[in-house]
Amino acid sequence: MSNEIDGWGPATLAVRAGQERTQEGEHSEPIFTTSSFVFGSAAEAAARFGGDEPGNIYSRFTNPTVRTFEQRLAALEGGESCVATATGMAAIMATCLGLLEAGDHVVCSRSVFGTTTVMFSKYLAKFGVETDFVSLSGLDAWEQAIRPNTKLLFLETPSNPLTEMGDITALSQLAHARGALLVVDNCFCTPVLQKPLELGADIVIHSATKYLDGQGRCMGGGVVGDSKLVGEDVFGVLRSTGPTMSPFNAWVFLKGLETLKLRMEAHSRNALALAQWLESQEAVERVYYPGLKSHPQFDLMQRQQTAPGGIVSFEVRGGQASAWKVIDSTRMLSITANLGDTKTTITHPATTTHGRLSDEEKTLSGISDGLIRVAVGLEEIDDIQADLLRGISTL
């Protein structure tokens, strides 16, 4: 890769970083659908296997299309190394397998993706890694939960669905003062809106399935950080346990990345317009969106992000019956829990993504029966509003 990359801005990196043309002179990135690579001689094979000579061996280890995606995502996040994974969950799992061992302790935000909670509390617990869950925005709670054996602090910001924010700078200082690493799942913001490594985080996690693809086509993930933690420790896990990204998916994500900046800005514009409009609706009791001045952490959002993102949640009066009425009255919005798509999606968290929580846990995490989450897509804002108004106007 050329050295010019150092001075490039995010839109340029998203279009060009990581590409090395083959002798065919192709303009668009090629897809290398090959499981293995051929050596010129027995000696070359031996040198590659022995690690004495760089180069491809087998696509579970490295693949040129996957590497282009890794280099582009690393450049966008400002990290030395990136390892691409089969899914976002595989990125979190590989990070944990690479950086933790039995007897270690993790402090994790209570407001992370549900499956992440299951991974920590059920599966990592089986192998002797204990996790405590704390309130995302309560810095004191994080500090009190840290023990001498705490290795990782893990969070997502803004949270899903209530858009609560974690202060990445403050948490990274806390982690480092206590000898731990800060891991940020940057799925909702992407590097276009938030650069956790610049704010002090050690590792950034992605579910590429969401905004990096942005068009709902493929599953994938990535881990970004320095060349030791990610380039050696996490890469070693991928090489030996196998949840690698397929070259075809890497190619789809490369094409997704090329429009990432345009899309994230457009998602944020649409979401802000929708949130402001929802605040003016009488049947809407509360709107959760970090781009609103009414958001309790509006200042932190302005310090930490370049735009507020695409997720808006709101509470309608009348509880579950009203929320379901709004959802079932839509004709265009997609009733699905996925997010980060050009198509706007609508969800009732209390009975879907957060349905397994007890009533007490729901109250504690602020998931009320009247809460609706909208992952705002790229349709015309007037059409999104009209589709929601069909139900809201009847309440």
Ligand X SMILES: *Cc1c(COP(=O)(O)O)cnc(C)c1O
Mode of pairing for the β-strands spanning 284-288 and 203-207? unpaired
Q: Retrieve residue 129's tokens.
A: 């890694």
Contact region with ligand X (CB under 6 A), list: 85-93, 228-236, 271-279, 360-368 = 85-93
Measured CA to CA in angstroms, residue 321 lies from 139, 163, 325, 329, 391 at distances of 36, 23, 6, 12, 11
Between 113 and 324, whose beta carbon lies closer to ligand X?
A: 113
Give the strands of the sheet with 81-85, arranged side by side.
81-85, 221-225, 203-207, 181-185, 150-156, 105-109, 130-134
Least distance CB 148 / ligand X (angstroms): 29
CA distance 288 to 372: 10
Given 17, 74, 76, 89, the residue binding ligand X (CB under 6 A): 89
Per CB under 6 A, 10 contacts ligand X: no
Least distance CB 225 / ligand X (angstroms): 17
Given 131, 194, 209, 268, the residue binding ligand X (CB under 6 A): 209
CA distance 283 to 316: 6
Per CB under 6 A, 59 contacts ligand X: no
**Which residues make Cβ contacts (< 8 Å) with residue 117, sequence separation at least 6?**
108, 133
Measured CA to CA in angstroms, residue 382 lies from 277, 304, 347 at distances of 10, 29, 20
Between 48 and 373, whose beta carbon lies closer to ligand X?
A: 373
CA distance 167 to 297: 10
Given 210, 261, 267, 373, the residue binding ligand X (CB under 6 A): 210
Contact region with ligand X (CB under 6 A), list: 83-91, 224-232, 271-279, 315-323 = 83-91
CA distance 305 to 323: 30
DSSP string, 317-378: TTHHHHHHHHHHH-SSSEE-S--SSSS-EEE-GGGTTTTTS-HHHHHHHT--TTEEEEE--S
Between 291 and 340, whose beta carbon lies closer to ligand X?
A: 340
Least distance CB 15 / ligand X (angstroms): 24
CA distance 215 to 209: 9
Per CB under 6 A, 309 contacts ligand X: no
What is the phi/psi pair of residue 251, to 5°?
A: -65, -40
Q: Give the closest residue to 242 by CA, choosing from 99, 98, 90, 123.
A: 90
- Per the CB < 8 A criterion, the answer to whether 342 and 215 are in contact is yes
Between 193 and 283, whose beta carbon lies closer to ligand X?
A: 193
Binding mask 212-251 for ligand X (x = CB under 6 A): -------x-x------------------------------
Least distance CB 98 / ligand X (angstroms): 17
- Residues touching ligand X: how many (CB under 6 A)? 13
Residue of closest CB approach to ligand X: 88
| Contacting ligand X within 126-185 (CB under 6 A) | 156, 185
Between 89 and 99, whose beta carbon lies closer to ligand X?
A: 89
- Cis previous bond, 158, omega within 30: yes
Given 113, 133, 211, 277, the residue binding ligand X (CB under 6 A): 113
Between 133 and 324, whose beta carbon lies closer to ligand X?
A: 133
Mode of pairing for the β-strands spanning 130-134 and 105-109? parallel
Least distance CB 241 / ligand X (angstroms): 16
Given 187, 189, 287, 367, the residue binding ligand X (CB under 6 A): 187
Contact region with ligand X (CB under 6 A), list: 72-80, 205-213, 300-308, 346-354 = 205-213
Least distance CB 210 / ligand X (angstroms): 6
Measured CA to CA in angstroms, residue 185 lies from 17, 283, 301, 319, 363 at distances of 22, 34, 16, 31, 24
Q: Retrieve residue 9's tokens.
A: 């801005």
Contact region with ligand X (CB under 6 A), list: 21-29, 81-89, 226-234, 245-253 = 81-89
Per CB under 6 A, 313 contacts ligand X: no
Contact region with ligand X (CB under 6 A), list: 39-47, 204-212, 222-230, 344-352 = 204-212
Interface residue list for ligand X (CB under 6 A)? 87-89, 113, 116, 156, 185, 187, 207, 209-210, 219, 221
